[in-house]
């Protein structure tokens, strides 16, 4: 195989930016098929984006012998079920975050991927941009022993009919945005943290519209995440790490191709950097193709996804909220 043929489940709003546009910049990838439960919408989406094949069901796309890999941007509650079906059909999968509704589902997917020997990758696109590596290098090389790390992702989503506010679809601020902040503090600090406390603001009885959670890492460092879909923090997308020798602040670790600023204060000096590069989604798709076609490693593995989902579950437990994918109390 010298070219990866990808089919996309559904006509989600994220798909043009996350898959179709990047595929035009990654010659090894072709988006060849789309499936939509609404055939008319599927045909319209295909015509707009130059996709040759339209399937009238997700099952048909997964069974298509001319599709090598599946992109899964479905609602959170459908990530694990349809990724499992794609794996069973022998397809590689690029699955949108969060990987599943909860840790148990994520572990089931990871086990299936391991048994099948397929590439299954969680779409934390920011991890593939050079800024993510630069953040790690600064923390490891300049700050000394880490004392505190924090990350935030807050943006306004006042349309409360949005699926991200639906418990039955595994919605909530921690699932949709907080998963990034949790992933970021895990990226910067060594070892897996323990959730110390969590405080939620709710939209409805079981769905968080905002969350603040505190963590402790094995070496003693503390951590904090802030996330919201609707709160007083209308827009916040930064990270911070404090060590014995200095501090790093990062503005916009999520979409650094738009703008980013990394500031380091150490040794009585302040340094500011911008890390340039392509769009995060382009790096991500290139890494996915390299993993499938040449066996190159990826950083957002199923095992890492399980660890991230474990932290999400523990945040919900600490906040007194039911896990996604379970019956609400």
Q: Looking at 55, 97, 203, 324, which residue is catalytic?
A: 97
Q: Which of 209, 198, 208 is nearest to 231 (CA)?
A: 209
Please indicate whether residue 91 is annotated as part of the active site: no
Residue for token digits 């992933």? 183
Asked if residues 305 and 124 have their Cβ atoms less than 8 Å apart, the reply is no
Angle between helices 179-188 and 130-142 in degrees, nearest 10: 40
Q: Is the peptide bond before 98 cis (omega within 30 degrees of 0)?
A: yes
What span, in angstroms and rounded, lies between the C-alpha atoms of 115 and 154? 37
Please give the positions annotated as active site. Answer: 97
């Amino acid at each position: 195989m010298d070219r990866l043929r990808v089919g996309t489940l559904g006509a989600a709003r994220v798909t043009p930016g996350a898959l179709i546009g990047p595929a035009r910049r990654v010659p090894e990838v072709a988006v060849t098929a789309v499936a939509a439960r609404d055939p008319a919408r599927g045909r319209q989406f295909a015509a707009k984006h130059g996709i040759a094949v339209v399937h009238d069901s997700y099952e048909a796309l997964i069974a298509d012998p001319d599709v090598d890999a599946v992109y899964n941007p479905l609602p959170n509650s459908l990530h694990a079920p349809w990724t499992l079906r794609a794996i069973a059909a022998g397809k590689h999968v690029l699955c949108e975050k969060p990987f599943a509704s909860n840790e148990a589902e994520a572990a089931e997917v990871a086990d299936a991927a391991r048994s099948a020997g397929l590439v299954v990758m969680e779409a934390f696109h920011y991890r593939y941009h050079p800024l993510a590596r630069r953040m790690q290098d600064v923390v490891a090389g300049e700050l000394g022993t880490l004392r505190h790390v924090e990350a935030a992702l807050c943006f306004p989503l006042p349309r409360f009919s949005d699926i991200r506010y639906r418990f039955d679809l595994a919605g909530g601020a921690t699932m949709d945005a907080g998963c990034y902040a949790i992933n970021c503090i895990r990226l910067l600090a060594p070892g897996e943290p323990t959730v110390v406390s969590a405080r939620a603001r709710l939209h409805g009885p079981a769905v968080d519209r905002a969350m603040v959670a505190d963590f402790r890492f094995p070496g003693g460092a503390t951590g904090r995440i802030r996330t919201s879909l609707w709160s007083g923090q209308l827009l916040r997308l930064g990270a911070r790490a404090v060590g014995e020798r200095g501090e790093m602040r990062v503005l916009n670790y999520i979409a650094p191709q738009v703008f980013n600023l990394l500031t380091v204060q150490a040794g009585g000096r302040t340094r500011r950097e911008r890390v340039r590069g392509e769009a995060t989604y382009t790096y991500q798709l290139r890494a996915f193709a390299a993993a499938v076609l040449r066996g190159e490693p990826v950083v957002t593995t199923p095992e890492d996804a399980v660890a991230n989902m474990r932290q999400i579950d523990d945040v919900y437990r600490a906040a007194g909220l039911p896990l996604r994918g379970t019956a609400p109390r």
